[in-house]
Amino acid sequence: MTLKISLGIFLARIVVKRSHLLIIYIAVAASTISSLASFFFVLFRCGPDVSKYLERTLNFQCTPGALDHFFAYSQATVTALTDCVFAALPVAILWNSNMDKRSKLSIGFIMSLATL
């Protein structure tokens, strides 16, 4: 979550179009809400009493497995979508920049190295 927020802050500093800034805000908000929901679900899935966590888990008194799967898949989906947005956004920023093609290609090559 903190990585997505810091990446969003970095990208927000270099965008020019308002629509790109809106995309960044939406992606960071979705990632933060999803991460916080998953964190608190994992923290309280067997109740607030941590001393009885193992006992409740072994007696199957925690949340059902379907709910565990739901939170796992929803967190993975939101994370994958925000990763794709943050990977594609520099391309859109570079595409709309006021540079010649040679500069765009060299900067695009440097930015593509960051994905490795």
Q: Which residues of 60-84 are buried (b: 16+ CB within 10 A; e: fewer)?
A: eebeeeeeeeebeeebeebbeebee
* Residue 28: per-residue pLDDT: 95
What are the tens digits of pLDDT across the range 9-59? 888 888 888 998 999 999 999 999 999 999 999 888 887 777 777 777 778
- pLDDT-derived band at 114 (thresholds 50, 70, 90) equals low
Residue 88 has pLDDT above 70, yes or no: yes
